[in-house]
Amino acid sequence: MASITSISQYQPLLKKPRFSPPKRLQTHFFSIPISPNPRVDSGFSVKTKSCSMTNKKMVVVSATTAAEKPKKRYPGEAKGFVEEMRFVAMKLHTRDQAKEGEKEPQGQPVAKWKPSIDGYLRFLVDSKLVYDTLERIVEKPAFPEYAEFRDTGLERSESLAKDLEWFKEQGHAIPEPSSPGVSYARYLEELSEKDPQAFLCHFYNIYFAHTAGGRMIGRKVAEMILDKKEMEFYKWDGDLSQLLQNVREKLNRVAETWTREEKNHCLEETEKSFKFSGDVLRLILS
Ligand code: HEM
C-alpha cells in the first residue's frame, strides 16, 4: 500500500547536502502530501509555511495492468521533474496572472498597473542583484551539480547592466539595491551552500518566470512608461525556447539523482520563491 507520509518528517531545511547517488527508477510511488512544514529560516521570516496542495491533488493514478497495484504518480512526473516544478508553480499564480493559476487575485491585474520609472528602476536594480548572485553561485559552485548551469544563455546580469546604463544616460539616478533584492540575494547565497534541492527550485523559478510572466510585464511597462523601448533584460541571444529546453534537460538529469523526498523538498520551496520574487516584482509599483 502506498504510504502516506508528511515530507516534513524527513529532513530539516538547510541541514546538509542532499545529493545522492543516481538511483534506478523507483518501482513504487508514495502518496506524499505537501504539508505544513516547520522550516529553519535564514534572515527571512517564514517559520511555518504550508503548500496548498494535498496529497489528493499531488498524485494521480497511472494506468496499470490488472495484476498490478495502481501506481501513484506526481503530476508532471512522467515528463520529468521540471514538469513537476512547473505544475506546482503554475498553481501558485493567481487566476488573473495565468490560466492555470489557482490563487485568488490580489491587488490589480498587470493590465491595470500604474508603474513609475523610479519603481521600475528599483525593480531592475534589485533584479540585477538577484541575477548577479545566482550567476556568481554557479560560477563558484558549492556543489558540483551547479556547474551544469553555467553559461546557459539565460543569464541576465549583463543585460541588466546595459539597461541600467541606458537609464543613466537618460539622466536617471540609479538607486542602491533595496530590501527585497538584498534579502533574496542573501537567502540564495545561504541556501546554495547547504540545500541544493531548494536552491535549484529558486534557480528554475527565477529564470523561467522571467521568460514567461516577466516578459509580459516588461512589455506592459514599456508600453506604459518607456515609449515601448525594449529593454535588454527581455532579449536573449539565440533561440530562447531551445535555451529553456537545454536547461530543462539539465535540471531533469540532476533531479534523476534525487530521492522522492528530495524532490518533494525542492517542490516545497516554490512558495518561498514566489514570495521573494513577488516582493521584488512589487517594486515596480513602489
Ligand atoms: C504578476 C506576476 C506574474 C504573472 C502575470 C505571471 C504570468 C505567467 C504566465 C502567463 C505564464 C505562462 C503560462 C503558460 O505557459 O501558459 C507563467 C509561467 C510561469 N511563471 Fe509566472 N507570472 C507571475 C509571477 C510569477 C512568479 C513570482 C513566479 C515565481 C518566482 C512565477 C513562475 C512561473 C513559472 C516557473 C512559469 C512556467 C514557465 C515555463 O514553463 O516556461 N511567475 N507565468
Q: Whose CA is nearest to atom 25 of ligand 1?
A: 209
Ligand 1 pocket, 258 CB below 6 A? no
Using the mean position of ligand 1's atoms as its centre, give its distance from the Cα of residue 2 in Å: 32
Q: What is the pTM of this model?
A: 0.81
Alpha-carbon gap, residue 233 to 116, rounded angstroms: 17
Q: What is the tens place of the pLDDT at every residue in 77-117?
A: 999 999 999 999 999 999 999 999 999 998 899 989 999 99
Q: What is the tens place of the pLDDT at every residue in 206-228?
A: 999 999 999 999 999 999 999 99
3-state secondary structure of 26: coil
Q: Whose CA is nearest to atom 13 of ligand 1?
A: 98
- Which of 51, 85, 90 is the best mutation target for the ligand 1 pocket, counting ligand atoms within 8 Å of the beta carbon and taking the most? 90
3-state secondary structure of 49: strand
pLDDT class for 58, splitting at 50, 70, 90? low
pLDDT class for 72, splitting at 50, 70, 90? confident
**Can you list the domains of the chain with their CATH numbers?**
7-91 (no CATH), 110-285 (1.20.910.10)
Q: What is the largest CA-CA distance in the chain?
A: 73
Cell numbers at 198, concatenated:
531548494
Report the Cα–Cα distance between both ends of the chain, in Å, rounded: 52
20: CB partners within 8 A, 6+ apart:
257, 258, 259, 262
Q: What is the tens place of the pLDDT at every residue in 114-151?
A: 999 999 999 999 999 999 999 999 999 899 999 999 99
Using the mean position of ligand 1's atoms as its centre, give its distance from the Cα of residue 279 in Å: 15
Residue 16 backbone dihedrals phi, psi, to 5 degrees: -155, 165
Q: How confident is the prediction for the chain on average, in pLDDT?
A: 82
Using the mean position of ligand 1's atoms as its centre, give its distance from the Cα of residue 185 in Å: 20
